[in-house]
Structure 1
């Protein structure tokens, strides 16, 4: 991409009217750090005195500034992510939603999601956040295989995520998602099969599954570099993807984005906003937002984030303004990953020629003037995008 990265404390925001608008709130707290994680999260010893209450007060200030900048558009979706939002407890998450309601109007059918770590949830937790107005829960499961969880440094027991999913449904949540990670060193096909079967048996209507990526700077990357663990094998990852896709399809969960499957009507609307060109305000330390043609990211550490807000400014560490080419690249990159596919009219003549080559290679299909990934194409989605956009 050729985005122009600009550094300034306060870009101009011009909301494009008529599309979806969401709010993402980043909770940076974690009890421990998983070995594969490179998200903007902090364990108690890394917080430098920052507290959840101080974080919440700073988020309230940011939301108030955002509402004034944007003239308070109606909010279609809310997503509280992290980190571990469930460490705030039910009352803390209710306070986050109250802070949004204090500055913005939620649409009557707004989707309101929180992520949660199974170990920091309970029946009372789910009942509390459901009563507060949350409509969707996403639980980190990763695997039911104890050996896999140990490699990932996950602290929850193999069955806790499944119990949490059932507790959420008992509390009135119609939409419950479980996250899986596949391709962990030492994982077997049967480990994945049992994980998928257990998730389905828990009655969930949405599942996200991600190939393990060894990110630089993580504990997992250091173990791979020292030779303690093998790096994920691309052929194994491809086979595991095909297996879980087949199992989920047999159970009635259809892929709607390369890494996401759901029953009809249970798609995550907030994520569809990301992939479909929607706009959102990202609040919290390290959060990213996108309004009009401007993408920005906040100061990462909770203390730095709070201090900038205390000084009366938005906590923006940097931003970039997308030109027409940047937007085109993003549209192709994101829309091709969705089951609905990419309108052929979005491509120029050269790109349409390369798309015909991808169709001939069995990577794309063309129907109703839209391009869609084939099953084989999903395994090579990044390469398909690179080929379409190559100059």
Structure 2
């Protein structure tokens, strides 16, 4: 797979960071993301950095580039993080295993990785520890083992409860299995269960979407993420759309489905806290909030991104290249950039305005503040004290509001 990583500046082989990035790190929230790049099949809409056995080919025999050896390579990157951060690292508040499909690894490997994060970096007493999973990638015993290891939260990739919609997305799980795996997670003692949904798939009717929402809510989740389908360049779905086999998602249809989701989820006691995320009070995904508020995190694994104190870096994408660097004792970072004050300000506008708590007005520049009255008049934002908050209508047009304010 060709790299789609930005070029950036050279990253030092030892992974070291400027002292300015480390200064004050103990006072900033800190999380760890672990990328597990393996899937049984590649979903047609997915442009994440994931690989099947067929994708890896002979590279599957390279230590660290296969499911059976990957955890040992990732452990070494966690130890690199300890060396780079030194005593400046704050205790880890959140750990998130994403992918790919993290639960394709043996629970013992996920346990090993989590234990290494705790041993090397230290877990906060109330740390949130999440793993993503597909409904067909876990058993009852797996979930018990993960909960016993310290995982507190699980996010199941459901996407839809309607078989013909799942087929368009190239999802392979049986939607009737979803209630079972949620029950197993509850029985295992997980504090929170989240379900991920996608709306706007070609051929999905409004009734189909309502069926998916109703099925998700029947499981009693603590958290739901609902994302509109985006046709990403280079995916199998994009090729099918280009050939005329499938239509592009319709913007009006997406807006209607978002409104239905917000109403159904809100009525069930799940309030929005970010434009595409709803939860019961106190069940917000703290790891994602950490991203959206510009905190620090270390991303472990091929293609993973990290950010500490205004320095952002990203690892080489391919599992074999990642494993080679780890085996050589050098940082797997492909490149990095030092964010200037203006870039960090723009990113705050892009991300924080999407949050229920809104954006401090003083983050906007003079032109942005001058544009606020027009957005208020259009009914897209409201001013609450010293903060700017999206209205219900504004959430539907969030990207446009951000562009206007920048």
Shift of the alpha carbon at 1:378?
A: 0.6
| Pair 1:215-2:218 in alignment | no
| Pair 1:70-2:73 in alignment | no
Q: Which moved more, 1:91-100 or 1:12-21?
A: 12-21
CA distance in structure 2 between the aligned counterparts of 1:197 and 1:8, rounded to whole angstroms: 48
Aligned to 1:30, which of 39, 50, 71? Answer: 39
Q: Secondary structure at the match of 1:150?
A: helix
Which structure 2 residues correspond to residues 380-391 of structure 1 after superposition, within 5 A? Answer: 380-389=397-406
Which structure 2 residues correspond to residues 139-178 of structure 1 after superposition, within 5 A? Answer: 139-178=156-195
| Pair 1:43-2:45 in alignment | no
Shift of the alpha carbon at 1:17?
A: 3.3
Aligned to 1:21, which of 27, 30, 37? Answer: 30
- Could you tell me which runs of 5 or more consecutive residues in structure 2 were left unpaired when the two chains were aligned: 1-5
Q: Secondary structure at the match of 1:52?
A: coil
Tell me the residue number matched to 1:281.
Answer: 298
Q: Secondary structure at the match of 1:40?
A: coil
Q: Secondary structure at the match of 1:247?
A: helix
Q: How high is the TM-score relative to the length of structure 2?
A: 0.93
Tell me the residue number matched to 1:130.
Answer: 147
Q: Residue deviations 1:342-368, cap 9 Å, x none?
A: 111222322111112111111101111
CA distance in structure 2 between the aligned counterparts of 1:54 and 1:220, rounded to whole angstroms: 31
- The RMSD of aligned alpha carbons is 1.3
Are the equivalent residues in 1 in contact too, given 2:16–2:84 (CA < 8 A)? no
Aligned to 1:259, which of 264, 268, 276? Answer: 276
Are the equivalent residues in 2 in contact too, given 1:140–1:161 (CA < 8 A)? no
Shift of the alpha carbon at 1:309?
A: 1.5
Are the equivalent residues in 2 in contact too, given 1:362–1:377 (CA < 8 A)? yes
Aligned to 1:269, which of 280, 283, 286? Answer: 286
Shift of the alpha carbon at 1:4?
A: 9.3
Q: Secondary structure at the match of 1:314?
A: coil
Q: Residue deviations 1:207-266, cap 9 Å, x none?
A: 000000001111100100000000100110011000110011111100000000000000
Are the equivalent residues in 2 in contact too, given 1:80–1:113 (CA < 8 A)? yes
- Could you tell me which runs of 5 or more consecutive residues in structure 1 were left unpaired when the two chains were aligned: none
> How many correspondences in the alignment?
387
Q: Which moved more, 1:169-178 or 1:11-20?
A: 11-20
